[in-house]
Structure 1
């Protein structure tokens, strides 16, 4: 292992060594596995919690989730887990794959093409998984 050149790298290297010592299995830990443990909320529950339950004339759950997806893309698409979960919930709330793709694509003007591409990759992962599940049933 090379000697870190800045304090942050040194701190991260030290933390990795501590993790290896305490639990060697955590060396290859990936938080992506936790996504599968979080259930997809039914559309009716999303409507009750986030949609028309608050204001009968307010935004529906699908629209709220598309806005959330746009915001996550605007932040530079840094939150891969949140983007994948938002896409999954948007599909459950009735959003089409085209609506999801259009929401992300529209953010290229505001967040830049790299953010749009990154968010689109995460969304594509979820949509491909949904396609695989549909073909199995």
Structure 2
């Protein structure tokens, strides 16, 4: 017996498209990992974060990813999300040099420890990207 197909809202589709723009297959990987814990958690991330907030028309995705990298660097406590959004930033056209400048600028506003954590994430993201070439 197959499970009934659940209808997918336009918000969910918009969120999934944006996630997959940042990194191909991201929506499925995140959706699978979150829905096994709670289906509402998948919707929260896909619909709210990506479908409602990050898809708003006021800023383009490249600018949003630069801002997200800055915020996550400044927070200093979300290394997995920082690396994800650094990869996403590179995938939507942010250059390696600009990505590093974002991290360096956070030393001024968030402190050197946050900047150094950002540098660690930056190095990991570039190493993985270079290895996958």
Q: TM-score, normalised by structure 2?
A: 0.59
Partner residue of 1:96?
A: 95
Q: Is the 8 A contact 1:80 1:122 kept in 2?
A: yes
RMSD: 2.0
Give the alignment of 1:10-89 within 5 angstroms: 41-42=20-21, 50-51=54-55, 54-55=56-57, 58-75=58-75, 77-89=76-88
Q: Is the 8 A contact 1:41 1:92 kept in 2?
A: no
Q: Structure 1, unaligned stretches of length 5 or more?
A: 1-39
Residue 42 of structure 1 and its aligned partner are, at CA, apart by 2.1
Partner residue of 2:125?
A: 126
How many pairs align? 87
3-state DSSP class of the match of 1:42? helix
Give the Cα–Cα distance (whole angstroms) in 1 for the partners of residues 119 and 62 of structure 2.
Answer: 18
Which of 1 and 2 has higher RCO (CA within 8 Å, sep 6+)? 2
CA radius of gyration, larger in: 1
1:18-44 Cα offsets, whole Å, 9 max, x none, are xxxxxxxxxxxxxxxxxxxxxx7225x
Q: TM-score, normalised by structure 1?
A: 0.57
